Amino acid sequence: MAKVPTAVVAAGGLVGGYGVARWTRKRQLGGAVLAVAGITAARRWHRQAGTPAAGALTAAYVAAFAGSHPLAKKVGAWPAVFGVAGAVALASWAVADRRG
């Protein structure tokens, strides 16, 4: 079975977490999706690119989540989520996925 790239896991966690929270109206459930995807991606980043890269990408993931909130006030919720998810996916691909 082919491995899902970490870029997809991380972007999916951001988009999926927001989607679940919005559609179920349970923020905790969306947070669980966000956390599971983030932990999964972080573990894989660590294996694929090492500790410093995993730390930087994890910080980017958390910053993307936090940054999507003020960005949503300017451009809307879904555009903000897709924008930060794309940025994290690009960073993840550049640092970890393209090596494999």
Q: Is 25 helix (H, G, I), strand (E, B) or coil?
A: coil
Residues 6+ apart with CB under 8 A from 92: 5, 6, 7, 10, 11, 41, 45, 57
Q: What is the pLDDT of residues 8-57, one digit of tens each?
A: 999 999 999 999 999 999 999 999 999 999 999 999 999 999 999 999 99
The per-residue pLDDT for range 66-97, each reduced to its tens digit, is 999 999 999 999 999 999 999 999 999 999 99
Confidence check: pLDDT of 1 > 80: no
